[in-house]
Structure 1
Amino acid sequence: MRRSAVTAVIAAVAVICGGAALYGIAGPDSNAASAQCGTAPKAAAALDALATGEVAAFQLAAEPEYLGGLTFRGENGEERALSDFAGKTLLVNVWATWCAPCRREMPALDRLQAAEADARFAVMPISIDLGSRDKPAAFLKSVGASNLPLLTDPSTEIFNDLKRRSLALGLPVTLLIDPKGCLLGHINGPAEWDSADGVKLVQAAKEGA
Structure 2
Amino acid sequence: MHRSFLVAFALLVSACGQEMDQPAANNEAQAEAEGPVKGVDRSHKGEAAPDAKFTNPDGEETSLAEFRGVPVAVNLWATWCAPCVKELPTLNALARTHDKDGALGVIAVSQDSGPQGSVEAFLSKLKVDDLGAYHDPKMALSGALNAQVLPTTILYDAQGREVWRYVGDLDWTSAEAAKLLAEAGAPQKG
Q: Distance in 1 between matches of 2:142 and 2:130?
A: 23
Note if 1:150 corresponds to 2:133: yes
Note if 1:112 corresponds to 2:94: yes
Letter in 1 for 2:148: L
Aligned counterpart, 2:159: 180
Query: Which structure has more helix as a fraction of its residues?
Result: 1
Q: Which moved more, 1:181-190 or 1:57-66?
A: 57-66
Q: Distance in 1 between matches of 2:75 and 2:44?
A: 20
SS at match of 2:185: helix
Greater RCO structure (CA 8 Å; 6+ sep): 1
Q: Distance in 2 between matches of 1:175 and 1:81?
A: 14
Q: Distance in 2 between matches of 1:194 and 1:63?
A: 23
Q: Distance in 2 between matches of 1:170 and 1:62?
A: 15
Matched-pair identity in %: 32
Counterparts in 2 of 1:158 and 1:126: CA distance versus 1, 3 Å: same
Aligned counterpart, 2:15: 16
Note if 1:85 corresponds to 2:85: no
Compute the displacement of 1:103 (Å): 0.7
Counterparts in 2 of 1:63 and 1:195: CA distance versus 1, 3 Å: closer
Listed as ranges, the gaps of 5+ residues in structure 2 are 1-11, 19-37
Q: Distance in 1 between matches of 2:158 and 2:144?
A: 20
Listed as ranges, the gaps of 5+ residues in structure 1 are 1-12, 20-55
Q: Distance in 2 between matches of 1:119 and 1:152?
A: 22
Compute the displacement of 1:60 (Å): 2.0
Aligned counterpart, 2:78: 96
TM-score w.r.t. length of structure 2: 0.74
Compute the displacement of 1:83 (Å): 0.7
Note if 1:192 corresponds to 2:174: no
RMSD: 2.3
1:91·1:175 contact (CA, 8 Å) conserved in 2? yes
Q: What is the count of residue pairs matched by the alignment?
A: 156
TM-score w.r.t. length of structure 1: 0.67
2:68·2:159 contact (CA, 8 Å) conserved in 1? yes
2:15·2:148 contact (CA, 8 Å) conserved in 1? no
1:71·1:81 contact (CA, 8 Å) conserved in 2? yes
Aligned counterpart, 2:118: 135
Q: Distance in 1 between matches of 2:186 and 2:92?
A: 21
